Amino acid sequence: MGKNIGNSPEKLHVGLIFGGRSGEHEVSLASARSVLANLDPEKYEVTQIGITHEGIWLVGDDALGVLSEGSSLIPQNNSLTPVTLLPEPTRHGIYIIHTQGKKGEIIEHLTNLDVVFPVLHGTFGEDGTLQGLFELSDIAYVGAGVLGSAVGMDKDVFKKVMLAQQIPTVEWMVFERKQIENDMDSVLEQAANLAPFPLFVKPCNLGSSVGITKCRSRADLIEGLLKAASYGRRILVERGLEARDIEVSVLGNDQPEASIPGEIIPDHEFYSYEAKYISGGSQLLIPAPIPAEKAQLARKLAVKAYKAIDCAGMARADFLLERDSGEIYLSEVNTIPGFTQISMYPKLWEACGLPYPELIDRLIALALERKAERDRTVYRYR
């Protein structure tokens, strides 16, 4: 541990983790494909760690390729080995899981890792759960810690923190799945009092626009609530805006920097999952064609929000710029943003003069820096 990029003849050993138990599993694979292609083999030794939809951890030289082919092929693929990461620092690294017939399973140390690069979007990857495992394992990892990940992932808690920080966010309310299932009429009545249609309905703990519905009528709202409830226990209903989608990339630990803003022009009515990843017709405008004072405000608010929830490494701040009023609202902060070659996060830094491979280097260096800072903390009363 603790080797510095460029200062050692040895390569850093990076564990690239992708897939996961989330509705964003396929998005994760696309992001990981781009990260893997840009990890300099002269600097890094990479172990591919794929997590299936069922939550099984697997390593292999082409784990990414196998997971991309679909879960049905995984049990029969002999090139993949089941592994685990143990939640204790004395057993550091990745362990192979061996099946020993009637004796059950045993584990065997496979390799140590200098740093983990999680490219897992959504539940069980971006929400603080995986970060907690990394903390227990005492391993360096790219991105926000437990707190920043959890708050950034939960749209309701995030909005409450933003209000406390006087950062404008769109009006909302939250319902639990059981409320929707047991008393839909009451939920509809409360939602109707929030704002007139259109309303947006979203799962509280998913990204990549999974489970989001724009509702123009009571029937739409019922459908949207049921759809969102299938993806999570808590569902957010938000006032609908006629707005432009503005995004800002943030990079750093204690002194984060904000990129120039970019704008998304979706080829659907809003920036849905299909518009992001399937249709291929959405446009990225970099820099965003907005007034200089709005661009500066977005950058300022992005950094303020990033620090408010204790982010680290990276995040993408998503804003709504209301067309009629010109008001800007912070929608959310994504602590593991999309990382494909055409994703807004790396494209914005590229426009700022930081190419994708150098961005990867910076993120790994920031992970090691944050780990060194954690190591200064005393955990035992003296």
Distance CA 256, CA 290 (A): 23
Is the pLDDT at 76 greater than 70? The verdict is no
Percent of the chain with pLDDT over 70: 91
Helix (H, G, I), strand (E, B) or coil at 87: coil
**Summary mean pLDDT of the chain:** 91
Residue bearing tokens 């639990």: 176
φ, ψ for residue 102, nearest 5 deg = -70, -20
Please tell me the predicted confidence (pLDDT) of residue 1: 35
Report the pLDDT value the prediction gives residue 345, as an integer from 0 to 100: 97
Q: How far is the C-alpha of 75 from the C-alpha of 263, rounded, in Å?
A: 42
- Separation between Cα atoms, residue 121 and residue 21, nearest integer Å: 10
The arithmetic mean of pLDDT across residues 194-215, rounded, is: 86
Q: Which residue has the tokens 């509705």?
A: 23
Task: Assess whether pLDDT exceeds 70 at residue 71.
Answer: no
pLDDT at 3 over 70: no
Domains in the chain, start-ordered, CATH in brackets?
12-141 (3.40.50.20), 152-167+242-372 (3.30.470.20), 172-239 (3.30.1490.20)
CB burial of 211-224 (b: ≥16 within 10 Å; e: otherwise) equals bbbbbeeeebbbeb
| pLDDT for residue 73 is more than 60 | no
- In this structure, the number of other CB atoms found within 10 A of the CB of residue 347 comes to 19
The three-state secondary structure class of 249 is strand
Higher local confidence (pLDDT), 17 or 77: 17
Q: Is the peptide bond before 287 cis (omega within 30 degrees of 0)?
A: yes
The reported pLDDT for the residue numbered 6 is: 41
Question: pLDDT digit string (tens) for 348-382?
Answer: 999 999 999 999 999 999 999 999 999 999 988 77
pLDDT-based confidence at 177, cuts 50/70/90? very high
pLDDT at 379: 85
Q: What is the pLDDT of residues 296-350, one digit of tens each?
A: 999 999 999 999 999 999 999 999 999 999 999 999 999 999 999 889 999 999 9
Q: pLDDT tier at 171 (50, 70, 90 boundaries)?
A: very high
- Calculate mean pLDDT across residues 27-47: 96
Predicted confidence at residue 351, as pLDDT, reads 98
Q: How sure is the predictor about 2, in pLDDT bands with cuts at 50, 70 and 90?
A: very low
Instruction: Give 49's pLDDT tier (boundaries 50, 70, 90).
Output: very high
Whether residue 151 is predicted with pLDDT greater than 80 in this model: the reply is: yes
